[in-house]
Structure 1
Amino acid sequence: MNYFLTKAGLDFFIAFGVVIGGSMLAGVGSVFLLTPPTTMMVNTAVNLKIWAIVAAVGGSIDPMRVIESNFVEGHLSPAVLQIGYIGAAFLGAHIGTELIKLICKGAA
C-alpha cells in the first residue's frame, strides 16, 4: 500500500508539473512573440492535459497492456492499481489546468 501511495503521489505531481511548467513557459514565450500570454497559457494547459497524464504514467502504451492482460487473466489487483495511477495523474493534470485558468481569469 505504501508503494502505491508513493507512485500515485509522484504521478500526481509529475502531471501537475507538466501542465504548470508548460503553461508558464508558453506564457513567457508568448510575451517574446507579442501575443496575449493568458490566452496562450490557458490553451496550452488544456492541450497539455492528456500528455501530462501520459508522461506521468510511463509515456507509452504499457499501462494499458497491464490493465488488459491482467484483467483478461482475472487478476484484478494490478489492473485496479494501474487505473489508480492513471486517476492520480488525471487529478494532477486537471488541478494544474484549473489553477492556470484561475490565475489567468483576472487578466483574460
Structure 2
Amino acid sequence: MDEFITKAAFSFFIAFGVVLGGALLAGMGSLFLLVPPKEKMLLVAGNLKIWALVAAVGGTIDPIRVIESHVLEGYLSPAIQQIGYIMFAFLGAHMGVELVQWLHNNGG
C-alpha cells in the first residue's frame, strides 16, 4: 500500500509541476516578447494538461497495456492501481490548471 501511495503522489506532483512550470515559463517568455502573459499562461496550461498526464504516468502506452493484460487474465488489482495512478496524475494536472486560472483571475 505504501508503494501505491508513493507512486500516486509522484504522479500527482509531476503532472502538477509540468502544468504549473510550463505556464509560468510561458508567462516569462511572453514578457520577453512583449505579449500580455495572462492569456498565454491560460492557453499553455490548458494545452499542457494532457501532456502532463502522459509524462506523469510514464510517457508510453505501457500503463494501458498493463490494464489490458491483467484484466484479460482476471487480475484486477494491478489494473486498478494503474487507473489510480492515471487518476492522480489527472488530478495533479487539473489542479495545476486551476491554480493558473486562479492566479489569472486574482493576480491584478
Q: TM-score range by the shorter chain?
A: over 0.9
- Output the CA distance in 2 between the equivalents of 1:35 and 1:64: 40
Question: Any conservation in 2 of the 1:38–1:107 contact (CA below 8 Å)?
Answer: no
Distance in structure 1 (CA, Å) of the matches to 2:68 and 2:85: 15
Aligned to 1:23: 23
Give 3-state SS (helix, strand or coil) of 2:48's partner: helix
Q: Which runs of 4+ in 1 moved over 4 A?
A: none
1: CA distance, partners of 2:77 / 2:19: 29
Structure 2 gap ranges (5+): none
TM-score, normalization: structure 1? 0.97
Structure 2 Cα separation of the partners of residues 29 and 11 of structure 1: 27
User: Unaligned 5+ residue runs, structure 1?
Assistant: none
Aligned length: 108
Distance in structure 2 (CA, Å) of the matches to 1:20 and 1:107: 15
The corresponding residue for 1:52 is 52
Q: TM-score, normalised by structure 2?
A: 0.97
CA offsets 1:56-84 (integer angstroms, 9 cap, x no match):
00001001100111111111000000000
- Aligned mates of 2:107, 2:39 — CA distance in 1: 9
What RMSD in Å do the two structures reach over aligned CA positions? Answer: 1.0
Residues of 2 paired with 1:5 and 1:87: CA distance? Answer: 12
Q: What code does the residue aligned with 2:67 have?
A: I
Structure 2 partner of 1:4: 4
Identity %: 62
